[in-house]
Structure 1
Amino acid sequence: MANIKSAQKRAIQSEKRRLHNNSQRSMVRTSIKRVFKAIHTGDWEKAMAEFNAAQPIIDRIADKGVFNKNWAARTKSRLNARVKALKTA
């Protein structure tokens, strides 16, 4: 642990932020897994509903800097492509 008071405070803040970001990251990954699960079942409507629910979550977390904005855009694009392919199949 740090000896200087400001360094101690920064360490505490950093740990708090790390725990919060981990929970946010987990929420995003869970929403993505739900979309994949719906895609694997072959139900287009459920997959589309899960994708529509996951989109704002991914955007919100990317805006806060937990994930990179390019990662968020790429992930949404790939999920959308899979959901669309499910409808045409």
Structure 2
Amino acid sequence: MANTLQSKKRARQTERVTAINKARRSRIRTFLRKVEEAIAGGNAEAAAEALKVAQPELMRGVTKGVYHKNTASRKISRLASRVKALSKA
């Protein structure tokens, strides 16, 4: 348990930032889920559109410190290749 004033303040700040990051992560997952659902539905146009909307959200998560840059790039790359394969088929 925090004892000093500074450690109490840091605990409050951590609590607030954790809630913000949790909301950001949840929002990003929602966008990714929309892409996944479009791919599963076999709709290439909807999947491409959903991916186009999800990419900036995911990279915003990188700038805010929610995701690592390579993790976001990997997710985008894998989704893009699946969308591309769907449009070819």
TM-score band, normalised by shorter chain: over 0.9
Superposition TM-score, scaled by structure 2 size = 0.97
**Aligned twin of 1:57:** 57
Structure 1 residue runs without a partner (length 5+): none
Aligned equivalents of 1:2 and 1:87: distance in 2? Answer: 55
TM-score (norm 1): 0.97
**Stretches of structure 2 lacking an aligned partner (at least 5 in a row):** none
- Counterpart check, 1:16 vs 2:16: yes
Residue identity opposite 2:69 in structure 1? K
How far, CA to CA, are the matches of 1:2 and 1:24 in structure 2? 27
Shift of 1:2: 1.2
Please list, as runs of the form range in 1=range in 2, the aligned pairs for 1:1-89 lying within 5 A after superposition: 1-89=1-89
Runs of 4+ in structure 1 deviating by more than 6 angstroms, as ranges, are none
Cα distance in 1 between the residues matched to 2:67 and 2:19: 15
